[in-house]
Structure 1
Amino acid sequence: MNDLISMSTIFSLFLGIGLAAAAGFRIFLPLFVLSLAVKFGGSFINLDESWMWVGSTPALITLGVAMLVEIGAYYIPIIDNLLDTIAVPLAGIAGTIAVGITMPEMNEVATWALAIIAGGGTAAAISGTTAAARAVSTTTTAGAGNFLVNTGETFSSIVLSITAIVLAPLAFIFVLIILYVCYRAYKSVRKKGDQLLAEEL
Structure 2
Amino acid sequence: MEFLVGTGLAAAAGLNAWMPLFILGLVDRFVPGFELPAAWAWLSSDVALWITGILLIVEIIADKVPAVDSINDVLQTAVRPVSGGIVFGAGSSAESLQLDDPSALFANHAWVPIAIGIVIALAVHFVKAAVRPVANVATAGLAAPLVSTAEDVSSFGLAVTAIFVPVIALLLLVGLIVVVVWLLRRRGRIRQERRQPAV
State TM-score, norm by structure 1: 0.79
2:56 counterpart letter in structure 1: M
Match of 2:128 in 1: 130
RMSD of the TM alignment (CA)?
2.7
Q: Is the 8 A contact 2:2 2:91 kept in 1?
A: yes
Matched, 1:140 2:161: no
Match of 1:44 in 2: 34
Match of 2:160 in 1: 162
Match of 1:75 in 2: 64
Matched, 1:99 2:99: no
- CA deviation after TM superposition for structure 1 residue 187, in Å: 5.7
Aligned residue for 2:31, secondary structure, equals helix
Aligned residue for 1:143, secondary structure, equals coil
- Range 57-66 or range 98-107, more displaced: 98-107
Unaligned runs of 5+ in 2: 96-103
Count of residue correspondences: 187
Match of 1:88 in 2: 77
Distance 1:45 1:184, change over 3 A: farther
Query: Deviations along 1:133-154, whole A, 9 cap, x unmatched?
Result: 2101221111111111111111
Distance 2:110 2:167 in 1: 19
Q: In structure 1, which of residues 140, 148, 151 is the aligned counterpart of residue 149 of structure 2?
A: 151
Q: Is the 8 A contact 2:13 2:84 kept in 1?
A: yes
Distance 1:129 1:105 in 2: 27
Q: Is the 8 A contact 2:65 2:144 kept in 1?
A: no
Distance 2:35 2:180 in 1: 29
- CA deviation after TM superposition for structure 1 residue 108, in Å: 5.0
Match of 1:115 in 2: 114
State TM-score, norm by structure 2: 0.80
Q: Is the 8 A contact 2:94 2:113 kept in 1?
A: no
Distance 1:23 1:158 in 2: 10
Distance 1:185 1:45, change over 3 A: farther
Q: Is the 8 A contact 2:80 2:125 kept in 1?
A: yes
Unaligned runs of 5+ in 1: 1-10
Distance 1:111 1:25, change over 3 A: same
- CA deviation after TM superposition for structure 1 residue 115, in Å: 2.9
Match of 1:8 in 2: none
